[in-house]
Chain A
Amino acid sequence: MTPLEQSGTATAVETSRLEKLERIWRDPSGFWGWFTHVNHRSIGKRYMVTAFAFFLAGGVLAALMRIQLARPENHFLSPDLYNQIFTVHGSTMMFLFAVPMMFEALAVYLVPLMVGNRNICFPRLNAYSYYVYLVGGLLLYSGLFTNTGPDVGWFAYVPLSGPDFTPGKRADIWAQMITFTELSALAVAVEVVITAFKMRAPGMSLNRIPIFVWGMVIVAFMVIFAMPAVMLSSTMLLMDRTVNTHFFNQAEGGDPILYQHLFWFFGHPEVYIIFIPGTAIVSTIISTFSRRRIFGYTAILLAMVATAFVGFGLWVHHMFATGLPQMGQSFFTAASLMVVIATGTQVFCWLVTLWTGKVILKPPMLFALAFFFVFIMGGLTGVLMASVPVDLQIHDTFFIVAHFHYVLIGGAVFPLFGALYYWMPKITGRLLNEAAGKWHFWLFFIGFNMTFFPMHILGLRGMPRRVYTYPTSMPWGNLNFLATLGVVLMTAAVLIFIANFFWHLKRGEIAGNNPWGASTLEWATTSPPPVYNFAELPTVNGRDALWDALPNQPIVEGLEEDCRQVLMTKVMDADPDCRHEFPGPSPVPILAAIATSIFFISTIFTAKLFFPTIILVGITLLIWYWPKRQPSLRRKEREIWEQ
């Protein structure tokens, strides 16, 4: 063990110092205390649990759909209910599971640990973002349970979602759910960017930031550029519906295609927002379990940046069938194909890492390797979509359903399970059971392929998406039945995972600081880390912080320890810049979140409440920003006074 790794172990001399740190950084316990937490790991865990709960809910909805489609002309679900279910399934998986889990939960929990600091920046904003997200999710499900679940698809194309064709509140609930979740994603994006750029351990210059953190920073930038587009389009939709604007009403000079452009300008980057964290996880796991530093750090990094850039230039491949001009479409074909170069580069780098390393097949690695099998197939079928003529045939068929489940489950869910097996020690201090992990893996892998592979063929045989049933005369029954059977295996796999989780809380093997011999900073502290993350803030001597650490790697000293003080460093080379004091536990975030929720939800029903509720939000923000003297200043003044 390097001294860095030992730094997590308290010596007798330090005990009182650590107790002091603990007292300063601990968030209050108890029921009311729960609502004042600002610790990034506390909020990160809430994100994880909530997003996983939504994953299960979305999975139940998916199972219901598969039962309905198991045989032709089935009457298990009515078309009305089916349409609500597929809409809520898609919206849940995209907005309430994938982005909050892959980006918000993992970034909030891991980024501060990986850059070696004590909390995420803007901790109260972080807490606020969680409550806003939670209310958005509950809003969608309260709609579904009261038979006002949105039924216009997760994309809610106008005019179908407009006032003429979807009366009632169904589409409004969908539109406001978007506003909630995107607001929370934007808040976390800002936190992640600043945390990664201003709060890194000294020595962690830009070219030494772990790939995982880079991935999160890139995703954060994508969120900042993509989410406003969908917030705009959903707000315009809401205004068309509640205050009779005509943004998308073609009869009054509006344009339904405008909605599609705005939606997909967000919608395509959204996919990359979901799978870039997946690739970052895969890079991390492959490096650790191949026992070597990642091959082609710079290439992988540039590939991720390129993917993010190009991701904003190919939204039109979702709209080839609308009949846009041909020249323009060719541009988007080229752009869509360019992504292959970037993704290919990453894949080749991983292959070389495996080839030249020593591979250990633990559950995290199995999930990372499944990524090759599943995600690459999804990526390659995606190449077919880039081609306008081929896309005209497979667009909006089950082929697409197969494709994007290969991309999203392959690119996000498989890496996510890998990440949970990998990082669980840093959350609970114990290892998940390995044998159960392998069962989980194989059942999920086989079930997944059984469910989604046949859908490629269904699509080629002409089965369109989003149909609640299909005629007996079409040759689709057997493959649909097979697809439904796969769900049984996937359900079993997820149940094994949940059982494994509860089992490991009590009986899992105690992990120790660094069970995998990994190289990034989060493994330098105890498992789980103390509330202040690191007893001594670490410094970094190379790209792989723990592997490159000197025998006497220095630590950071000189932070005030009677307030929540953190070290800020400079953007380029992470030289120490200043000391900054973070706010402590506070009920303000939840008050602001409640006010924001009242504001958003009231606009679903009436425009009259717009000003009163926005004033309410303003009041909570005033309380939030009311100038306070920092405790350290108060203390200094007291000391001077006493002298």
Chain B
Amino acid sequence: MRRHGPFLTMALYLGLLLLAGCHGNQAALNSKGIQAARIERLWWLMFSIILGVYVIVLAWAGTAVFRARTHRSENEIPPQVDPIADQRMTRVVGVAIGATVVLIFVMLTSSVVTGHAIANLASKNPVTIDVIGHQWWWEVHYEATQADQTVITANEIHIPVGQPVVIKTASQDVIHSFWAPNLHGKRDLIPGYQNALWIEADEEGTFRGQCAEFCGHQHAHMGFFVVAESPEKFQAWLAHQVSTPPPPSDPIAKHGEEVFLSHPCVMCHTIRGSGAGAKLGPDLTHIASRMTIAAATLPNTRGNLAGWILDSQSIKPGNKMPPNPLKSDDLNALLTYLETLQ
């Protein structure tokens, strides 16, 4: 056990590593986009090189210890000196260093080439999306030539499959980092700097992403979803998001709108068509069409929404939304109203 222990553990580990990471909708080695695929290829190249080196070095060390091991005590063995053997070994070390240099050049070249390839995608007319980081949610704008065609949503990014998308990042407060590993690596959102990131999804699917730069209290609950769908579905979604939802017709929802407008909600949120236009919190114009609330923290269900409105601090302590102790019929009406905002 003593001698073989490390090697068995190592073999086990490496086996695990080979199998790992290859699944999940937030995994770097499960690429669903051209950029992530290029990075994944580079990863496997570099991984096999370092794995090879690791195995060789450990085998060398293991053999060395095994063959040179002695049970005599220190003072019984005079210091060993064999200049001829040392000279021979100098050549061995020279060759080993030479091989290291060659491997480094392979990795350097491939990494620079990949770096160039993922920097941008050639496209004249990409879909342009602004992503603005907030503590602790994502504001998403779809740019349009006319101001009133701009779509503003939050924590959910829809993109068409097979089309290049450029994501322009900015931050409203501290540094965040945009990361949807199935599509691409990270890009920091730095106040005062605008960065751009190109992505393109190969297939339909819902991919999760998360803030990757520590941004305070609720860094852990700052997720988002990227929904890759066919261009037709994407256009339909976009058109729907542009539209202003119709004013509520049934009396309960109408009461809900009044609750929204007469309570602190209106101080931070926008619902187009209702008169609420504050920009501190996420735009709620089409809240009911989203899959999750609170930056991918909870599924968007009536119960979760109720809990969130009443006491968001117990769900996501430290977030910027105050508790709203509503009477139960007010709350019900508000929820019904929000559910109409498809």
Contact = CB atoms under 8 A, between A and B. Distances in A.
B87 to A, nearest CB: 11
B318 A80 contact: yes
A369 B61 contact: yes
A83 interface: yes
Given A159-B175, A467-B220, A461 B20 contact: yes
Nearest to B169: A323
B237 interface: no
Contacts of B89: 295, 352, 355-356
A295 B64 CA distance: 14
A283 B133 CA distance: 49
A547 B153 CA distance: 75
B211 A464 contact: yes
A519 interface: yes
B75 A381 contact: no
B174 interface: yes
A453 interface: yes
A358 B50 contact: no
Contacts of A373: 6, 10, 58
Interface size class of chain A, counting residues whose CB lies under 8 Å from the partner chain: 35 or more
Interface string B85-106: 1100110110011001100100
A37 interface: no
Interface string B71-83: 1111101111110
A75 to B, nearest CB: 10
Given A291-B79, A333-B108, A389-B114, A160 B185 contact: no
B79 A449 contact: no
B137 interface: no
A517 B42 CA distance: 49
Contact of A369 (B9, B65, B216): B65
Given A83-B217, A393-B28, A393-B181, A354 B65 contact: yes
B21 interface: yes
Interface in A148-166: 152-153, 157, 159-160, 164-165
Contacts of B28: 393-394, 397, 460, 462
B100 A341 contact: yes
User: Which of A390, A394, A518 has most chain B Cβ within 10 Å?
Assistant: A390
Interface size class of chain B, counting residues whose CB lies under 8 Å from the partner chain: 35 or more
Nearest to B26: A462
A157 B214 contact: yes
B229 interface: no
Contact of A449 (B9, B26, B73, B174): B9
Nearest to B110: A387
Contacts of A392: 39, 184-187
A139 interface: no
B165 to A, nearest CB: 17
User: Which of B57, B58, B218, B317 has most chain A Cβ within 10 Å?
Assistant: B57
Nearest to B6: A373
B210 A160 contact: no
Interface string A155-179: 0010110001100000000000000
A462 B210 CA distance: 9
A329 to B, nearest CB: 7
A324 to B, nearest CB: 10
B266 interface: no
Contacts of A345: 93, 97
Interface stretch (B141-149, B191-199, B248-256, B267-275): B191-199
B79 A79 contact: no
B208 interface: yes
Contact of B23 (A164, A362, A475): A475
Interface of A: 78-80, 83, 152-153, 157, 159-160, 164-165, 250-251, 255-257, 288-293, 295-296, 299, 321-323, 326, 329-330, 333-334, 337-338, 340-341, 344-345, 347-349, 351-352, 354-362, 369, 372-373, 376-377, 380-381, 383-384, 386-397, 442, 445-446, 449, 453, 456-457, 460-462, 464-471, 474-475, 514-519, 544, 547
Interface of B: 5-6, 9-10, 13, 16-17, 20-21, 23-24, 26-29, 36, 38-39, 42-43, 46-47, 50, 53-54, 57-58, 60-61, 63-65, 67-75, 77-82, 85-86, 89-90, 92-93, 96-97, 100-101, 104, 107-108, 111-112, 114-116, 118-119, 135, 173-175, 177, 179, 181, 184-188, 190-193, 195-196, 208, 210-220, 223, 297, 317-318
The list of the 7 closest CB pairs from A to B, nearest first, reads: A392-B185, A460-B21, A462-B26, A250-B192, A467-B220, A387-B111, A457-B20
7 contacts: A83-B217, A157-B214, A348-B96, A356-B89, A376-B54, A396-B212, A397-B28
